[in-house]
Amino acid sequence: MIANFGLAALWLAAALAALQCLAGFAALRGEGQALAGVVRPVAVVQGALCIAAFAALLLAFVWSDLSVALVAQNSHSAKPLIFKLAGAWGNHEGSMLMWVSIMAVAGGLIALVERRLPEPTILATLGAQAFVGLGFYAFLLFSSNPFERLDPAPAQGMGLNPLLQDVGLAFHPPTLYLGYVGLSVAFSFAVGALLTRQVTPEFARVMRPWVLGAWIFLTIGITAGSYWAYYELGWGGWWFWDPVENASLMPWLAGTALLHSASVLASRDALRAWTIVLGVIAFSMSMVGTFLVRSGILTSVHAFAVDPERGTFILALLAIYIGGALALFAVRAGTVAEGERFALMSREGALVVNNVALSAILGIVLLGTLYPLVTEALGFRVSVGPPYFNPVSAVFAIPMLLVLTVGPLLRWRRDRFERVRGPVILIGIVLVAVLAAVAFFYGIGLLPMLGIALAAGIAVASFMPLRGRSLRRLPLPVWGMAISHFGIAVALFGMAADSAFTQERLIAAGVGQATEVGPWQVRLDSVRPVAGPNWTAIEGRLLAQYQGGAVYELTPQARSFWAPAQETNESALLTRWNGQLYAVLGEEAEDGRWQLRVWWKPFVTFIWYGGLLIALGGVLALIGRVTGDLRRRFARRKIAARHVDAMA
């Protein structure tokens, strides 16, 4: 019943998307003017119907309605409620429905609140948004129907992949989707602005909160995904340059560049064409990411959603939307007038360096991700890993981070070095002093050494733009910038410290046996069976002593899930302010000894603290932008009201 309702809502929403698309584009021509009035209401209703369809799917999962094929394949009545809900989007069909729903809701929001741009631009934007949505509706309804029924219904469901039965992962996909799909809004705005030839600072100001929102979710999604991979996979690493990790990193890189170039366009009316290009590229990276995850052409830990037929469908959508948008832009390029000019030594100049470097890193990651496909097409197989990605992206990341220390201090349009000489010298001294100290005291690799020094320099530099200003009256977006940049310093320090100072110990240990790793002494105290809601496990009890001081307990588990049957390793983490002790219990040998892997990872947590700080900065900037807009709207309304009073 609930499934029928959901499917009906989805079909209706698809029909409305078709109407929204036709009416939105028709309104751009003289004869279609009559349709202009329907576009906004239709967009709102389409969003509401999608919410209804998604709610229906959630309910089917909560009630364990096993007559729905998707529920039967991904859920089990014994599963905790949170994972029943997560089951709704922890699979291909459900996540696609979530994707479409977020897109439709975003379209509805634009239709409801956005009044700053000329009406034709908004109509074209909503038309484009519906056009992109239509492809995904077709995908859902013709090839990936989440509401497909089973008759007769099975007695029990098959359960959710145990690796996905984790609170962190319950929220990882939705967060990333919000980011991916948020970028579709930037894409639609770019197409709308291009179609109506309205690439203006106002367009950038309208697009910016959407990009910012998408970017915040991507940042949180990547940070959470990295932490999930770190503790759930039990490999002790936090980033593997896995194709699917790259697939989430590439939209983030493009989104970061877009955010900065949109700032230039909003404040200074420069970088018009470039901002549009980035809008298209950012969304195309989201789609490439979706394609790579679901087509299975690359081997990855995320291969859960693999199916060549889906791949073909997404590839076709990719060709239509991105190929179409790029071609449209190439044809229209002449109509985008050149923006304002600026000197290299200026805020814009620094932001251009940021954009070029981010784009270069994006290109490097894209090349490294696709290179195995290229060689495979030529008949030999390679895999590309850290030896390529780390140094090659560092070549561009290091200059970019150096410019990041100075850029925010510069004035728009033109500046003199003399004006910022003091802070630059201070930052330089910090950087060189830390570099020298690290080089003197620790024999570590060049990249980690540079990383630690740069982190110190950026940490100091990030708060330089606040000097001499009243902290109470400082606009929120400036706070946001400072905190995000500081977050980069924190994350960078964590990455460098982890790669330079991590210590690892691998042993087959009997009960009672002790081993040392870094400042820790770790003893396998006991091994006992434990039972969970839908798994049983062998749990090791480790007693860890830090530098001969207090004793802590860690309990890594080797879990066996029974629905579906699968083994996983639950690592145990012990967090101190200065790092994490990480333990994994492996298999048992015949003689009762256990495979045990223990790492001491100094300051590794800073990586994720930094990621969260970066996102927090984005949140502050977003709040600042939105409240600023509301305040202006309110003031305008007041003036208008006063005007009416005066007339009366």
Residue 528 phi, psi dihedral angles, 5° rounding: -145, 155
Q: Count the residues of the shown chain that bind other proteins, applying the rule CB under 8 A.
A: 47
**Which of 315, 392, 426, 444 contacts other proteins by CB under 8 A?**
315
Rounded Cα–Cα distance for residues 211 and 621 (Å): 12
Interface positions, 184-243, toward other proteins (CB under 8 A): none
Contact 223, 233 (CB under 8 A): no
Tell me the two tokens of residue 270: 């420069």
Of 611, 578, 574, the residue nearest 248 (C-alpha)? 611
Tell me the two tokens of residue 614: 């970066």
Residue 463 CB, shortest distance to other proteins, in Å, is 37
**Which of 113, 319, 433, 551 contacts other proteins by CB under 8 A?**
319
The residue (of 335 and 547) whose beta carbon lies closer to other proteins is 335
Residue 307 phi, psi dihedral angles, 5° rounding: -170, 120
Rounded Cα–Cα distance for residues 521 and 529 (Å): 24
**Phi and psi based region of residue 504 (left: phi greater than 0; alpha: psi -120 to 50; beta: remaining):** beta
**Which of 33, 299, 578, 627 contacts other proteins by CB under 8 A?**
299
Task: Select from 109-117, 470-478, 482-490, 500-508 the region that touches other proteins (CB under 8 A).
Answer: 500-508
Interface positions, 596-635, toward other proteins (CB under 8 A): 596-597
The residue (of 330 and 648) whose beta carbon lies closer to other proteins is 330
DSSP state of 150: -
Alpha carbon 104 to its chain centroid, in Å, reads 19
506 lines the binding site for other proteins (CB under 8 A): yes
Rounded Cα–Cα distance for residues 534 and 536 (Å): 7
Give 571-603 as a 3 state SS string.
Answer: CEEEEECCEEEEEEEEEECCCCCEEEEEEEEEC
441 lines the binding site for other proteins (CB under 8 A): no
Task: Select from 318-326, 353-361, 432-440, 572-580 the region that touches other proteins (CB under 8 A).
Answer: 318-326
Residue 638 CB, shortest distance to other proteins, in Å, is 43
String of DSSP letters for 14-41: HHHHHHHHHHHHHTTSGGGGGGHHHHHH
Neighbour tally for 200: CB within 10 Å: 18
The residue (of 302 and 597) whose beta carbon lies closer to other proteins is 597
586 lines the binding site for other proteins (CB under 8 A): yes
592 lines the binding site for other proteins (CB under 8 A): no
Task: Select from 110-118, 415-423, 490-498, 593-601 the region that touches other proteins (CB under 8 A).
Answer: 593-601
Task: Select from 288-296, 396-404, 535-543, 602-610 the region that touches other proteins (CB under 8 A).
Answer: 288-296
Task: Select from 137-145, 253-261, 346-354, 506-514 the region that touches other proteins (CB under 8 A).
Answer: 506-514
Residue 523 CB, shortest distance to other proteins, in Å, is 17
**Which of 77, 143, 566, 595 contacts other proteins by CB under 8 A?**
595
In the stretch 365-384, what mask flags binding to other proteins with x, by CB under 8 A? -----x--xx-xx--xxxx-
**Which of 12, 59, 138, 318 contacts other proteins by CB under 8 A?**
318
**Which of 31, 151, 418, 590 contacts other proteins by CB under 8 A?**
590
Interface positions, 257-276, toward other proteins (CB under 8 A): 273
Task: Select from 83-91, 146-154, 312-320, 457-465 the region that touches other proteins (CB under 8 A).
Answer: 312-320
Contact 535, 561 (CB under 8 A): yes
The residue (of 67 and 143) whose beta carbon lies closer to other proteins is 143
Sole residue written with tokens 């530098």: 547
Rounded Cα–Cα distance for residues 285 and 616 (Å): 24
String of DSSP letters for 178-242: HHHHHHHHHHHHHHHHHHTT---HHHHHHHHHHHHHHHHHHHHHHHHHHHHHHHHS-S--S----
String of DSSP letters for 359-379: HHHHHHHHHHHHHHHHHHHTT
In terms of residues, how long is the chain? 648
Interface positions, 331-360, toward other proteins (CB under 8 A): 333-334, 336, 338
Neighbour tally for 380: CB within 10 Å: 8
Task: Select from 150-158, 446-454, 489-497, 501-509 the region that touches other proteins (CB under 8 A).
Answer: 501-509
284 lines the binding site for other proteins (CB under 8 A): yes
Which residues are at the interface with other proteins (CB under 8 A)? Answer: 273, 277, 281, 284, 288, 291, 295-297, 299, 308, 311-312, 315, 318-319, 322-323, 326-327, 329-330, 333-334, 336, 338, 370, 373-374, 376-377, 380-383, 506-508, 586-591, 595-597
